[in-house]
């Protein structure tokens, strides 16, 4: 079986040009959307960075809806 796997095989010849999934313009829009999402996440993280320090000594009351802010 190993000998059969190691045999050379003829390469498949492509008869047509490779297809592009997205155009350059679409790729730029996808990249811009990804960058915008990352910038928004960075802004949220920077804004919420001080919450744990205020929460530990009792500076913030434990509110149920704000618990998830600590995970961002």
CB 72 within 8 A of CB 45: yes
- Per-residue pLDDT of 30-47, as tens digits, reads 999 999 999 999 998 888
Tokens of 64: 């149920």
**Residue 10: its pLDDT value, please?**
75
Whole-model pTM: value is: 0.49
Work out the angle at residue 11's Cα, subtended by the Cα atoms of residues 8 and 17, and round it to the nearest 5 degrees.
Answer: 165
Q: Tell me what pLDDT residue 66 has.
A: 59
Phi first, then psi: give them for residue 60, nearest 5 degrees: -120, 130
């Amino acid at each position: 079986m190993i000998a059969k796997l190691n045999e050379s095989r003829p390469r498949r010849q492509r008869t047509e040009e490779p297809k592009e999934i997205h155009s350059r313009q679409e790729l730029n829009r996808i990249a811009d959307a990804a960058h915008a999402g990352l910038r928004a996440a960075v802004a949220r993280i920077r804004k919420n960075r001080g919450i744990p320090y205020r929460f530990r000594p009792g500076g913030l009351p434990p509110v149920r809806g704000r618990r998830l802010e600590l995970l961002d």
